[in-house]
Structure 1
Amino acid sequence: MGIQGADHKSGPLPGVYRIDPEASKVRFRMRALFGLFPIKGTLSVAHGRIAVEEPESASTVEAVIPVDSFASGHAQRDRHVRSADYLDSALHPEIRFHGGDVRRADGEVTVHGELTVRGVARPVVLTLSQVEVDGSRLALQATAVVDRYEFGVTHAKGMTGRRLRIALDVVAVR
């Protein structure tokens, strides 16, 4: 992970950083129609916080993602993904992430946490690829792979990819 800081060479200063919804985005990639067609899209971040602690392993992350923000560029598909067949935004309007176990190993920084989709919570690991610190501003990039079947999202097996590759671009301010 690359850590760059204008004020703090070893990383962000301890404290609570609020996620800026306007500057943060969740991007995803998956395959459809038996793996033949790639689908890309985004989800927004409604709000969240990153609590940087000493030691860094005690740091925590919380984020709330509105299901209705799912956008793939195809309105009919987006409505279908938000429906009870997939994410069920009527009963489960939010996706939540809570992480609290930051680990450094082999030059990689990971955040181990729990992702809740459709009321089902499962472990997920975010791999940080970039962290930039500029005064009270923290910008980070992370990736994860999510198996939708683990969350009970099993509609259209074979037609829709099982695993989603998630990329997060997050900006937070202390």
Structure 2
Amino acid sequence: MSQVKWSLDPMHSEITFKVKHLMISTVSGRFNSFDVTATTEGDNFSKVNSVETSIDVSSIDTNNEQRDGHLKSDDFFSVANHNHIAFKSSKLELNGEEGKLTGDLTIKGITKPVVLNVESGGVVVDPYGQTKAGFTVTGKISRKEFGLTWSAVTEAGNVVVGDDIRFNAEIQLVKQA
């Protein structure tokens, strides 16, 4: 069986995240610039050799310029020193349409193993003859485990920014010739 390379279709993909604010509401954001590549044995994802993701942290967008600037500062991502988030898989286990993607996530120079939930949308040929694969990848991480430790407390004792970051990636890949 031959090795197949897959690359991101950025027009049909997104990475979003949510975090608690003041522990009473949720703030959403997205990364506008990222890349995902994969290699498989054959034309489907029954045997995956690798999945790699690189996210440009400076593309963070929470629909608030001041907040985005704070997130890029040394209080959070320190974009001047750590401008990318990276993920490199060690295995993908699909059982039908659902599975787990295991690998190493690197944020702000700190690498930790993570297990992400994967839902496969399948593999199809589009009207232009391109073979495409779709996935939804979800997970939750502790921001503090990755050195994103900035915090403040309100007068009433509420934490300003929650520790749990929930993320959702809608990913469409294109088989390379």
Same fold (TM over 0.5): yes
Contact 2:97 / 2:120 at 8 angstroms: preserved in 1?
Answer: no
Contact 1:45 / 1:63 at 8 angstroms: preserved in 2?
Answer: no
* Counterpart check, 1:156 vs 2:151: yes
1:119 equivalent in structure 2: 109
Contact 1:145 / 1:166 at 8 angstroms: preserved in 2?
Answer: yes
Amino acid at match of 2:38: I
TM-score by length of structure 1 reads 0.84
Structure 1: gaps of 5 or more residues: 1-12
Contact 2:86 / 2:107 at 8 angstroms: preserved in 1?
Answer: yes
Cα-to-partner distance string for 1:36-76 (whole Å, 9 max, x where unaligned): 12101111343221112378354310011000111111111
* Counterpart check, 1:36 vs 2:19: no
Instruction: Using the TM superposition, name which of 137-146 and 106-115 deviates more.
Output: 106-115
Equivalent residue of 2:79, what SS?
coil
1:73 equivalent in structure 2: 63
Equivalent residue of 1:162, what SS?
strand
Number of equivalent positions: 161
Instruction: Using the TM superposition, name which of 43-52 and 133-142 deviates more.
Output: 43-52
TM-score by length of structure 2 reads 0.82
Structure 2: gaps of 5 or more residues: 126-130, 153-158
Q: Percent identity?
A: 25
* Counterpart check, 1:47 vs 2:35: yes
User: 5 Å matches for 1:11-160?
Assistant: 15-33=4-22, 35-53=23-41, 56=46, 58-104=48-94, 108-135=98-125, 136-156=131-151, 158-160=159-161
The structure with the largest alpha-carbon Rg is 2
Cα-to-partner distance string for 1:11-53 (whole Å, 9 max, x where unaligned): xx961111123332111111011x1121011113432211123
Mapped to 1, the partners of 2:41 and 2:151 lie a distance apart of 43
Cα-to-partner distance string for 1:110-145 (whole Å, 9 max, x where unaligned): 010111000111111121123231121111111010
The Cα of 1:146 is off from its aligned counterpart by: 1.2
Mapped to 2, the partners of 1:49 and 1:107 lie a distance apart of 20
Amino acid at match of 2:37: R
Cα RMSD after superposing both structures: 2.1
